Each structure stands twice: as structure tokens, then as C-alpha cells.
Amino acid sequence: MCSECANAGGGATYSMTRGISSPSLDGRSTRFTLGGTKAWSHALYYRWMSSNSSASNFVYDIYYYFKNPGASSGMEFSSSQRKGYKWYRWDTQCSFLLGVWQLWDNSSGRWIKTSIPCKRPTAYRWNHLIIEGKRRDGRVLFVSLTLNGKKYYINKSYAPKSMSSSSSAVNIHFQLNGNKYQTDYQVWGDKFTLKYW
């Protein structure tokens, strides 16, 4: 986990605690915190999954829970794959400020707005998110996003980013974004899974 790598210049305070019994769906959720004094600073939490460079289908599944959703400017959810000299990223951002979901175009380094609505989560309620992506024809294909049972088909594709060194890896990311006051807040995550084949 880090703040400097969260594309906001660093400056956040953050922590991650596993094995939380409440709130939890299975008795062992993870609590993520974000705070600090630098406005708009974020925290990125990530995990290396494997060195699989042959998988081309990715399904990211997560449950998350807020007590104070008004303190956040948004959240980001991502799976990624390094395959040789290419970096494929299925990054999505629920921007509470814009009110829509965005997709990351890794080759040009910018967020692309969708028409999929993104509302602040209701406090004290679990939300269930599923993001489906593919590596197809050498491109990053965003297939669909399902939030609390409502599925939105995306079907947008972007070129991967070219890298100077070769690597093989599959990773999963989860990011909390701060607001202009950098209000402290916590998010609980549970049943994180990434299926890839």
C-alpha cells in the first residue's frame, strides 16, 4: 500500500487491518483507512496475485461498506496484467464528484467518462461490485460492471501501455480517494476475489 503511487502526489495517512469481525459478511473483513492533512490525497492498496501472463479473462468481485461516505471523493478498483513489454489495466473509478464511473486509458494516461451512474454509497450498508474485463486482440477490453445486482455493459477497449522492461504478473488494486478537506474515513472490504483464466 502507498500514497505516492496513487496518482495524487502522496501525502495521505493510511492503514489496513485484516480479520475484522464487525462489520463483516464472513467474520473477517479488512478495514482500510484514509486521512492526513493534504487535500485530495489518496491511498492505493494492492496485491500481487501471480505471474500468469496467459490469462485473458478477469473478474474482480468485492463487497465494501462505508460509515461516512460523504468524506470520500471516490473509489478505484483495478485488476492488471503485465505480459512481456505490455501493461494491461482494467482500472475503474467511481467518482462521487462527477457522479459517473470512469475507465482508465493506460496508453494515454487519462480517465474516460462513461454514462454509468455512480452515487455515493448508503452508510452502514454493504455494496457488491463485479467488474469484468478481457485482454482481446492485444487491447484492454472493459466488458461490464455490476453494482448491487444491476449490470451495465461497457464494451470499450483501449491500447495497453508499452513498458521498457519485460515482466509477467497479475495484480489487484483498491484505492480510497480523499476530498478537499482530507476528511478521515474508513472503508471495510470483504470477499475480495479475482478470477482469471
pLDDT tens, residue by residue, 102-115: 999 999 999 999 99
pLDDT of residue 1: 56
pLDDT at res. 12: 85
pLDDT tens for 105-161 read 999 999 999 999 999 999 999 999 999 999 999 999 999 999 999 999 999 999 999
Q: Note the pLDDT tens digit of each residue in 77-101.
A: 999 999 999 999 999 999 999 999 9
Q: What is the DSSP string of 36-85?
A: ESSTT-EEEEEEEEE---S--EEEEEEEEEES-GGG-SEEEEEEEEEEEE
Q: Where are the domains of the chain?
A: 50-178+192-196
Q: How many helices (H) and strands (E) does the chain have?
A: 0, 12
Average pLDDT over residues 13-37: 96
pLDDT of 9 above 80? no
Residue 8, pLDDT > 80, answer: no
Residues 53 and 166: beta-carbon distance below 8 Å: no
3 state SS of 117: strand
Reported CATH class of domain 50-178+192-196: mainly beta
User: In terms of DSSP bridges, do strands 126-136 and 110-117 run parallel, antiparallel, or are they unpaired?
Assistant: unpaired
| Beta bridge partners of residue 161, listed in sequence order | 87
pLDDT of 75 above 70: yes
Mean pLDDT of 152-177: 97
pLDDT at 11: 81
Q: What Å distances lie between residue 141 and 89, 91, 136, 145, CA to CA?
A: 9, 11, 7, 12
Question: What single DSSP character describes residue 121?
Answer: P
